[in-house]
Structure 1
């Protein structure tokens, strides 16, 4: 016997969707164009990576790539806002842009007080595991040397 009660009334033909988060403002056309561009880039990239994963028999990677391919696939609008499900994978341009914006907003209160802030990205080729300690030691020495010069 069914004993669970449902709250509300179910009107035939009416779909109910529960949305999470703040959503995106539909009036910001340029932001929506940027989102569409990132979505297109991600989908093209994912199809290529899916092919490679299939060739190499990497089923777990293939699942992750498909998950990213379908990121923000179904979107819903409510009260002038856009909502959808994010994959949150590191290789998704949509999710990475959100993650980057969250980090910038997190550190902005401190950075805005700096006189001349600079954003610097340091990269280096990958190293073997047995050389990692040496790499880290050299990085720290380099940071200290640069810091002393300023």
Structure 2
């Protein structure tokens, strides 16, 4: 299983190692393990202000510990998020008669081919009465496009 982290903090490494101690293959990884990783994020944030989240992709066998965004990443996400919130939301609303709202960093477990995977998009747009976004945005400034798709 691949583990990516932008932080070399020993506490972060030891916590991840402890949580993943019995994970020898993708079949050993479960939603509860992903939730434990997410739950420990607060502890890591106290020691490392640059850690902003955790993602798990079951299909690709990736656990990604996200670090603080760069100004370029944040600017790109904000520009597209603003377009989604104002232009796309209005167009979708006019076409469907529904209301749409922007969402940001909503941790979601995925389904289909990506069952039990988790993703924290940079931004998204969801219909007011839905839990999950209709459109999710991932800015590839901080990740390779191979991992974005």
Instruction: State TM-score, norm by structure 2.
Output: 0.30
The structure that is strand-richer by fraction is 2
Which of the two has higher C-alpha Rg? 1
